[in-house]
Amino acid sequence: MQIELRKEYGQTDIENLVEAFAEKYTSIPKLQQTIELTKCTKPMMVDDFFIWKALSEGAKYTESTFITYAEVFNVLTARRVELLEYLEHHKPASIIEIANALNRDYKNVYDDISALEDAGLITTQKKGRNVLIQSTVNSIIISFQ
């Protein structure tokens, strides 16, 4: 059994990623020159170059991670899958908003968010008194090999 966690980036996500590359490296030709001068000693920089170039030319972007079934079934309960699905369709401003929308207790939602974040399935970011929560996946594919 193979389990693939996949995140397909939308247009806004791609624009934000291209903007982040521009802030970090200034321009694609400048990044290419840096890579040539350093003789590819920084593999992440080379990856960034190819991703940035492809996205600038209109490519779609998908990230995939493969995990074992034991990992996923230890983390993904029915309630946590419901939480992931909610995050896919909404941009909640807080954990309280999620708890109210899903008709669940705040502490249980908080615990589920912590478990999903530890597993790398969501990210959290404090913004003032609120915690912004985003899913890092938008599909989970289970295949039998």
Mind listing the pLDDT tens digit for each residue in 18-28? 888 898 888 88
Q: What CATH code is assigned to 66-143?
A: 1.10.10.10
- The pTM of the full predicted model, rounded to 2 decimals, is 0.65
What average pLDDT does range 55-65 have in this prediction? Answer: 84
Supply the DSSP symbol for 3: E
Position 61: which residue type? Y
pLDDT tops 80 at residue 39:
no
Do residues 86 and 79 touch, judged by C-beta distance below 8 A? no
> Is the separation of the CB atoms in 141 and 132 below 8 Å?
no
Give tens-digit pLDDT for 95-138: 899 999 999 999 999 999 999 988 888 888 887 877 788 888 88
Q: Report domain extents, the chain.
A: 8-63, 66-143
